[in-house]
Amino acid sequence: MGLKDFFKNRQLKKAEKLQGKIALNGSVNGHDIKTPPPICDDVLCSLWTKCQSCKELLYTSDLKKNLSVCKNCGYHHRLTSQERIDQLVDYGSFIEIDENVLPDDPLNFVDLKPYKDRLKEAAKSSGVKEAIITGYGNINNSPVALGVMEFQYIGGSMGSVVGEKITRLVESAILKRLPVILISSSGGARMHEGILSLMQMAKTSSALKSLHEAKLLYISLLTEPTFGGVTASFAMLGDIIMAEPQARIGFAGRRVIEETIRQKLPKDFQTAEYLLENGQIDMVVPRTSLKNTICDLVRLHKQNHKPIGSNNGKGIFHEMPILARI
């Protein structure tokens, strides 16, 4: 018997027992009582969440209180873009920008269904208009420019609008002299937009080069999962690249690589810990420490950053922040 069936049977037995008392006495403890309807399946399922790693059944409310991290095995469950913003940004400080930049169907693409229909379904199921939310906010009172990808929207794929919103965010951060934080969760470039989606790799990379030339900090946070054209562009261009524990990060999928090279890959291949060990990322940070770690890095950079021309002729190295790209 499954968990859902157990709760349903228990609820039905309670209802039958209560109906029996009412049939005999017309009331319970002297009060007329109406039989409550059984709890629906959706409500029962929402009470519990099965951990994708250890398969333990967890109270959903307890899981949310622990930032969607399993207390039993430490597995970091996926977050929606709004949940991520709520966890990282100070309450009430986030201001979304470019929310009305919407995707279109320039290629009139059709596979099993028209691309326009997929966009409508994705917006309805995910509750967002595109695969990224961008804006400004404070992290422990430190202002930042923030972009958070939404995996539930067509797998967090990068189309023309995603590239445009990231570029606009970076350009506005340069004008406002703000550090940029991009949080990736994506399957890669969006095939429905063809070459236009691939062009966003160069577009975002070019914008980040301008950010670097302005000597502003860029922190890239890689979450479960980050693959394809996103990994091959802005996700791996951070001055500091951090990842959540056990996050899968790569370009091609594990099965594709094994079939190509005809070799068995290590069990931890493409995990955050594997990439850290091999020098591909800078740090793996648990979700409970993420906000304070990002805040410390932003403050460290700000504290040691001096505007060009304010070094009294001490040389170019005194103009540069401590955390700069090499």
Structure token pair of residue 233: 């562009």
Q: What is the pLDDT of residue 269?
A: 95
Q: What is the pLDDT of residue 85?
A: 97
Q: What is the pLDDT of residue 324?
A: 36
Q: Are 96 and 33 contained in the same domain?
A: no
Q: Are 118 and 252 contained in the same domain?
A: yes
What whole-number distance in Å separates Cα of residue 146 and Cα of residue 94?
9
Q: Are 22 and 132 contained in the same domain?
A: no
Q: If we measure between CA atoms, which residue out of 147, 108, 105, 107 comes closest to residue 128?
A: 147
**DSSP line for 246-308:** T-BB-SS-HHHHHHHHTSPPPTTTTBHHHHHHTTSSSEE--HHHHHHHHHHHHHHHHHT---T
Q: Are 115 and 190 contained in the same domain?
A: yes
CA dihedral 77, 83, 87, 89 (to 10 degrees): 140
Structure token pair of residue 303: 């504290």
Q: Are 147 and 267 contained in the same domain?
A: yes
Q: What is the pLDDT of residue 36?
A: 57
Q: Are 162 and 86 contained in the same domain?
A: yes
Range of the domain at 237: 78-318
Q: What is the pLDDT of residue 314?
A: 44
Q: What is the pLDDT of residue 41?
A: 54
Q: Are 234 and 305 contained in the same domain?
A: yes
Q: Is 143 among the domain residues?
A: yes
Total structural domains in the chain? Answer: 2
Q: Are 13 and 156 contained in the same domain?
A: no
Which stretches of the chain score pLDDT less than 70? 1-8, 15, 18-45, 303-326
What whole-number distance in Å separates Cα of residue 265 and Cα of residue 263?
6
Amino acid (1-letter code) at residue 249:
I
Work out the number of other CB atoms within 10 angstroms of the CB of residue 205.
16
Contact 314, 306 (CB under 8 A): no
Tens digits of residue pLDDT in 10-22? 777 776 776 665 5
Q: Is 44 among the domain residues?
A: no
pTM beyond 0.85: the answer is no
Q: Are 83 and 18 contained in the same domain?
A: no
Q: What is the pLDDT of residue 315?
A: 38
Q: Are 313 and 173 contained in the same domain?
A: yes
Going from the C-alpha of 114 to that of each of 15, 37, 73, 157, 187, the distances in angstroms are 48, 41, 41, 17, 20
- Distance between terminal CA atoms of the chain? 59
Q: What is the pLDDT of residue 11?
A: 72
**b/e per residue 8-37 (b: at least 16 CB within 10 A):** beeeeeeeeeeeeeeeeeeeeeeeeeeeee
Q: What is the pLDDT of residue 9?
A: 73
Q: Is 49 among the domain residues?
A: no
Q: Is 83 among the domain residues?
A: yes
What 3-state DSSP class applies to 179?
coil
